Chains A and B, each alone.
Chain A
Amino acid sequence: MIPVIRRILRAGIVSEPRPEPAEAVELDRLQGEIRRILGRALAIRQVDAGSCNGCELEIHALNNPYVNLEGYGIRFVASPRHADMLLITGPVTKNMEHALKTAWECMPDPKLVVAAGDCACSGGIFGESYASCGAVERVIPVDARIPGCPPTPRQLLAGILAAIGR
């Protein structure tokens, strides 16, 4: 136990301060907005609709101590029934079309949907084909888009917050 505590103390708190005053004010406003609309927190259900896994790696990074997504009152949940937002990656493959629609139908309102990454936004490099429906909006309505291949954790964070602020 002692070595663990020692490591924790040595690493310290690395969560990053908000970079610029203007952005910080905006983040505060958005955080207030989250509380107003959704109560205490925002619950996200992530769905990989056929990505290469690159976007998932960066979404995982949202939970690292630097970005510390939970510090904003945002967390990932296991079921779409518990989710305020679907965060979707990848072009929607034909083989995932049905599952994605089902997940969306299971969600309670307001059913926020964010397309994360170039593939989810536009179909990206994979586009539309015999196996791919392309962009998420071809399958379910999308509220916000976060481009990038893959988007960085900062871009993802900004995109998620912006989607709530709409």
Chain B
Amino acid sequence: MRPKTAARVMKFFDEPVEFEKQPGIGAPVWRGRAGGGAALQAFAAAVRAAGGRLAALWGSDERPTAGCFRLHAVFGIEAGHAWLALDLPPDLFCPDLSGIFPAANRMQRAARDLVGIDFEGADRRPWLRHGGWPADWHPLRHDIGEPAGFANQVTDYDFVRVGGEGAHEVPVGPIHAGTIEPGHFRFSVVGERVLRLEQRFGYAHKGIERLFAGRAPAEGARLAGRVCGDSTCAYAWAYADAVEAACGASPPPRALGLRALMLERERVANHLGDLGARGNDASLAFGLAQFSRLREDWLRLNARLFGHRLLMDCIVPGGAALDLDASALSLIVEQCEAVGREVRALRRIYDEHAGLQDRFLTTGVLDMALARELSLSGLAARASGLILDGRAHRQGYTPPPPWATLGVRPASDERGDVAARAAVRFAEVAESLRLLRELAVGLPAGDVRAGLAPAAAGAGLGVVEGWRGEVIVGVALDAEGRLARVHPHDPSWQAWPALERAVLNDIIPDFPLINKSFNLSYSGADL
């Protein structure tokens, strides 16, 4: 359903903040301005009381267009997303939201590192800044200039110490023992038992947000597709949604169908990879061999039909970069049937394999209350019983096209352990294969790309249900219609702290299995 063109003013939870629906056909987003820090805190508390989530938070230097710095907070509520902006005073003081939403902690610290926002009474340890640039040099300020040959100093990080007899620390990373992204895990243990896990990230921070500034909106798509390589479709789509909302453009229906097709192919590719790797983590090499064979078949068809194994650069603002003909669509349908058959057989083997289930069951448990408290989204939330899926209908929420007509059935499991996350992946592969067949058969005719006329000072927010969870991209254009600020937000921001908690009843040798059962992104959250 297209929203009515006239702006509708909405209020949520009896809070005074007024919201207007974002125009366009993307996921439902309401934009509002908080009157002050207290209003922001009150709204956040109301969202929390209603069972909502903190979906994203970032700082922005909007002095050229609005005359001030702003804090942006996106909340996941029943009806979709409430995007709240707060004008900051010249001293950049801002209320701390981490007491209401613990997930705010790292996002606020990143906003402090990059923009220099001062969150009152909050955790003041740097997050993305390790020692490569000075504390008073904030890369996302427009007038900060080029970095002046800063020395790269190795800094210590103030980990929380665990005391007591026999307690000791096990440091892991930033280079891990496999082909994995960089990050540091600090375990405090007694014997084998994990008492505390604390993460230190930022190792993959390569300054993506600053790179967006000044580019044309069409140019930013390539960069958005490289925030997190395994979720390139989700990011490219969320970015395109945001740019389209900012420019008032609507992609044609065939383009939406193609985007969904690519997003579901990305989901299946990642799930196939993960299911194989989970087998391997529990010493069932057979699982890795079988699933990696299926994944390779899947990626080869991607290369053949889309010209790229991981589908990079296929989704662009305004639509899709390419079209598929009838024979390509029938190849997709055929492959879905073949892969579906094999995955069903492999699932039976996984389910009945005593050794595998012994490692999976009751390992790395995350319960629903904690998942909610930590603002989790996506696969990890669904495996803890929180049925949140931006593609699916729920009470008070209608998904954007093309999902609304597909009747997406979200997978869920209440156990919250490694087994649950594997079961959700199996269920989602089956559902995605069904969706792919429906999308391929019912792809609307017509163009795949609409024109895009950049709008001065426009802004937009895109939300896409990627394979890992909710991918959000916020875009603001400057007076010339170029990108002033882009903030890509990965679901891993919220899920990494959940991992710190999920390992607490287990031992270090189970950590690789638990960690990879979430399979979170480092690059996506380090930016």
A and B from one complex? yes
Alpha-carbon separation in the docked complex, A50 to B228 (Å): 11
Q: Are B286 and A129 in contact (CB under 8 A)?
A: no
Count of interface residues, chain B, beta-carbon cutoff 8 Å: 56
Q: Are B132 and A61 in contact (CB under 8 A)?
A: no
Decide: A94 near B293, CB < 8 A? Known: A54-B310, A99-B203, A131-B206: no
Q: Considering the complex, which residues of chain B in the window 151-166 have a beta carbon less than 8 Å from any beta carbon of chain A?
A: 152, 154
Alpha-carbon separation in the docked complex, A139 to B355 (Å): 45
CB distance from A48 to the nearest CB of B (A): 5
CB distance from A139 to the nearest CB of B (A): 10
Residues of B within 8 A of A72 (CB): none
Quick check: which of A27-35, A63-71, A107-115, A157-165 contacts chain B, the rest being far away? A63-71
By beta carbon, the residue of chain A nearest B310 is: A54
Alpha-carbon separation in the docked complex, A57 to B298 (Å): 13
CB distance from A25 to the nearest CB of B (A): 26
Residues of B within 8 A of A60 (CB): 179, 273, 292
Judge if A49 is at the interface, Cβ distance under 8 Å. Answer: yes
Judge if A4 is at the interface, Cβ distance under 8 Å. Answer: yes
Q: Are A53 and B229 in contact (CB under 8 A)?
A: yes
Judge if B174 is at the interface, Cβ distance under 8 Å. Answer: yes
One of B130, B226, B352 near A54 (C-beta < 8 A):
B226
Q: Are A48 and B204 in contact (CB under 8 A)?
A: yes
Q: Considering the complex, which residues of chain B in the window 161-193 have a beta carbon less than 8 Å from any beta carbon of chain A?
A: 174-175, 177-182
Judge if B102 is at the interface, Cβ distance under 8 Å. Answer: no
Render B210-244 as a binary contact track against A, CB cut-off 8 A, 1 for contact.
11000000000011001111101000000000000
Alpha-carbon separation in the docked complex, A129 to B132 (Å): 10
Q: Are B204 and A65 in contact (CB under 8 A)?
A: no
By beta carbon, the residue of chain A nearest B148 is: A130
Q: Are A54 and B152 in contact (CB under 8 A)?
A: no
One of B139, B292, B299 near A131 (C-beta < 8 A):
B139
Main secondary structure on B side of the interface with A:
loop
CB distance from A4 to the nearest CB of B (A): 6
Judge if B452 is at the interface, Cβ distance under 8 Å. Answer: no
Alpha-carbon separation in the docked complex, A59 to B348 (Å): 29
Decide: A51 near B207, CB < 8 A? Known: A7-B346, A76-B179, A131-B132: no
Alpha-carbon separation in the docked complex, A55 to B230 (Å): 10
Q: Are A130 and B147 in contact (CB under 8 A)?
A: yes
Count of inter-chain pairs, beta carbons less than 8 A: 163
Residue in B139, B175, B346, B348 whose Cβ sees the most chain A Cβ within 10 Å: B175
Judge if A125 is at the interface, Cβ distance under 8 Å. Answer: yes
Alpha-carbon separation in the docked complex, A96 to B352 (Å): 43
CB distance from A23 to the nearest CB of B (A): 19
Q: Are B349 and A93 in contact (CB under 8 A)?
A: no
CB distance from B302 to the nearest CB of A (A): 11
One of A8, A50, A55, A95 near B286 (C-beta < 8 A):
A8
Judge if B362 is at the interface, Cβ distance under 8 Å. Answer: no
Residues of A within 8 A of B132 (CB): 93-95, 97, 130-131
Residues of A within 8 A of B180 (CB): 48, 56
CB distance from A44 to the nearest CB of B (A): 9
By beta carbon, the residue of chain B nearest A96 is: B203
Decide: A64 near B523, CB < 8 A? Known: A94-B130, A95-B130, A130-B132: no
Judge if A14 is at the interface, Cβ distance under 8 Å. Answer: yes
CB distance from A99 to the nearest CB of B (A): 5
Residues of B within 8 A of A4 (CB): 286, 349
Q: Are B273 and A57 in contact (CB under 8 A)?
A: yes
Judge if B135 is at the interface, Cβ distance under 8 Å. Answer: no
By beta carbon, the residue of chain B nearest A152 is: B309
Q: Are A96 and B174 in contact (CB under 8 A)?
A: yes
Q: Are A46 and B139 in contact (CB under 8 A)?
A: no
By beta carbon, the residue of chain B nearest A98 is: B154
CB distance from A114 to the nearest CB of B (A): 14
Render A131-149 as a binary contact track against B, CB cut-off 8 A, 1 for contact.
1100000000000000001
Q: Are B133 and A130 in contact (CB under 8 A)?
A: yes
Decide: A57 near B210, CB < 8 A? Known: A11-B293, A51-B181: no
One of A11, A103, A149 near B175 (C-beta < 8 A):
A103
Q: Are A150 and B229 in contact (CB under 8 A)?
A: yes
Residues of A within 8 A of B331 (CB): none
Residues of A within 8 A of B523 (CB): 50-53
Judge if A47 is at the interface, Cβ distance under 8 Å. Answer: yes
Residues of B within 8 A of A90 (CB): 204, 206
Render B302-340 as a binary contact track against A, CB cut-off 8 A, 1 for contact.
010000011010000000000000000000000000000
One of B206, B211, B348 near A93 (C-beta < 8 A):
B206
Q: Are A48 and B226 in contact (CB under 8 A)?
A: no
Q: Could you list some 15 contacts between A and B, CB below 8 A? A: A47-B175, A47-B182, A54-B232, A54-B310, A61-B296, A61-B299, A64-B296, A93-B205, A97-B152, A126-B226, A130-B132, A131-B133, A131-B207, A131-B210, A152-B303
A residues apposed to B, CB below 8 Å: 3-4, 7-8, 11, 14, 46-61, 63-67, 76, 78-79, 90-91, 93-99, 103, 125-127, 129-132, 149-150, 152
